């Protein structure tokens, strides 16, 4: 190489420099670990941990991360992301396009509540760290959020009176807390908000999967935006499964309702 060419090569290499992966002819390393060792010695959730934050999770941390991601993988065709993927799969697009259609439906309202809830839980934890009692911290946080949003993210479910994922996930976090493997601060925050909502409304408003997984991601030390990213990663598995199932049905141009049912005509005022 000439001097100018070498300088350009170095500049481009620096432009795309990353601590996540090293690629050279015959070499692949994930955060400094040879790919052969990663393949032989890590499961998928351990690789997710490695790529996102480096290092190796403890067995308890890996179990919690896996449980959160398993719990979020699917919630049926009534979920807009999955319905959209199934419809796309009948429209002559490839499987990747169908999956992308579903993933692109995940936004602030459908898919973003985990990130929002982790932000809210973190506020409770911060207030408690500053000296407030858990109930007081939860009350102040709920009041602050009530001034901005109608529904508290991560609490209540329009379909399940009690989310069937609640007890197994809370049990796993509580067991990890009791063994000293996580602090329990985010679990305490979530339960304190549940108690505050009961006091406020007189009704049981239990955590849904977004709140439950937010607790886990908080206990594991993930930043709030990663709660959304990890949900998307999890739900993509369900989206893929539904898109594939639909693609095998032979159905063409599946709409949001059977062809025999037509929407009502509602003239504008």
Per-residue pLDDT tens digits for 112-157: 999 999 999 999 999 999 999 999 999 999 999 999 998 899 999 8
Coil/strand/helix, residue 131: coil
Q: Where are the domains of the chain?
A: 58-255
Average pLDDT over residues 2-14: 82
For the domain covering 58-255, report its CATH number.
Answer: 1.10.230.10
Q: Where are the alpha helices (DSSP H) in the chain?
A: 3-15, 35-41, 44-53, 59-71, 80-89, 95-103, 113-129, 134-146, 166-178, 185-201, 209-219, 224-247
pLDDT tens-place string over residues 72-117: 999 999 999 999 999 999 999 999 999 999 999 999 999 999 999 9
d(CA 104, CA 115): 17
- Give the per-residue pLDDT at 4: 80
Which pLDDT does position 13 carry in this prediction? 86
Contact 239, 102 (CB under 8 A): yes
Six-digit token pair at 127?
């207030």
The backbone region for 72, taken as left when phi is positive above 0, alpha when psi lies in -120 to 50, beta otherwise, is: alpha
β 27-30/21-24 pair status: antiparallel
Nearest Cα neighbor of 46 from 37, 33, 59, 36 is: 59
Angle in degrees, CA 174, 155, 112, rounded to 5 = 100
Residue 204: C-alpha distances to residues 48, 153, 196, 200, 210 (Å): 35, 15, 10, 10, 17
Amino acid 197: pLDDT:
96
| Mean pLDDT within 36-51 | 98
Distances (CA, A) of 133 to 70, 127, 143, 240: 33, 8, 15, 44
Give the model's confidence band at 43: pLDDT under 50 very low, under 70 low, under 90 confident, else very high.
Answer: very high
Joined together, the tokens standing for residue 51 give: 């790529």
Instruction: Please list, residue by residue across 92-131, b when 16 or more beta carbons sit within 10 angstroms of its beta carbon and e when fewer do.
Output: eeeeeebbbbbbebbeeeebbbbbbbbbbbbbbbebbeee
Segment 234-265, tens digit of pLDDT: 999 999 999 999 999 999 999 988 888 888 88
CA nearest to 140, candidates 154, 156, 155, 128: 128
Residues 167-214 pLDDT 10s? 999 999 999 999 999 999 999 999 999 999 999 989 999 999 999 999
What's the pLDDT score for residue 209?
A: 96
What is the model's pLDDT at position 1? 54
pTM of the entire predicted model? 0.93
CB atoms within 10 A of CB 62: 19
The encoded tokens of residue 178 equal 């009791």
Q: How confident is the model at residue 2 (pLDDT cuts 50, 70, 90)?
A: low
For residue 33, give the H/E element and its range: strand 33-34
């Amino acid at each position: 190489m000439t001097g100018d060419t070498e300088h350009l090569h170095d500049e481009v290499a620096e432009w795309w420099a990353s601590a996540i992966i090293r690629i050279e002819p015959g070499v692949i390393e994930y955060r400094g670990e040879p790919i052969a060792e990663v393949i032989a010695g890590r499961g998928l959730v351990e690789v997710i941990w490695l790529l996102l934050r480096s290092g190796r999770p403890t067995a308890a941390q890996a179990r919690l991360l896996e449980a959160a991601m398993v719990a979020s993988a699917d919630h049926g065709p009534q979920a807009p992301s999955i319905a959209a993927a199934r419809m796309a799969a009948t429209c002559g697009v490839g499987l990747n396009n169908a999956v992308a259609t579903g993933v692109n439906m995940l936004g602030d309202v459908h898919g973003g509540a985990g990130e929002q809830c982790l932000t809210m839980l973190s506020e409770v934890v911060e207030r408690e760290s500053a000296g407030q009692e858990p109930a007081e911290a939860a009350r102040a946080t709920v009041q602050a959020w009530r001034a901005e949003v109608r529904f508290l993210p991560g609490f209540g479910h329009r379909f399940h009176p009690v989310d069937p994922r609640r007890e197994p996930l809370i049990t796993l976090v509580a067991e990890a807390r009791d063994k000293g493997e996580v602090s329990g601060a985010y679990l305490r925050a979530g339960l304190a908000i549940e108690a505050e909502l009961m006091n406020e409304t007189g009704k049981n408003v239990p955590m849904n999967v977004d709140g439950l997984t937010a607790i886990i991601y908080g206990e594991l030390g993930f930043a709030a935006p990663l709660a959304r990213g990890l949900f998307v990663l999890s739900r993509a598995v369900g989206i893929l499964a539904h898109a594939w199932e639909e693609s095998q049905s032979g159905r063409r141009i599946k709409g949001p309702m059977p062809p025999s049912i037509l929407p009502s005509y509602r003239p504008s005022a």
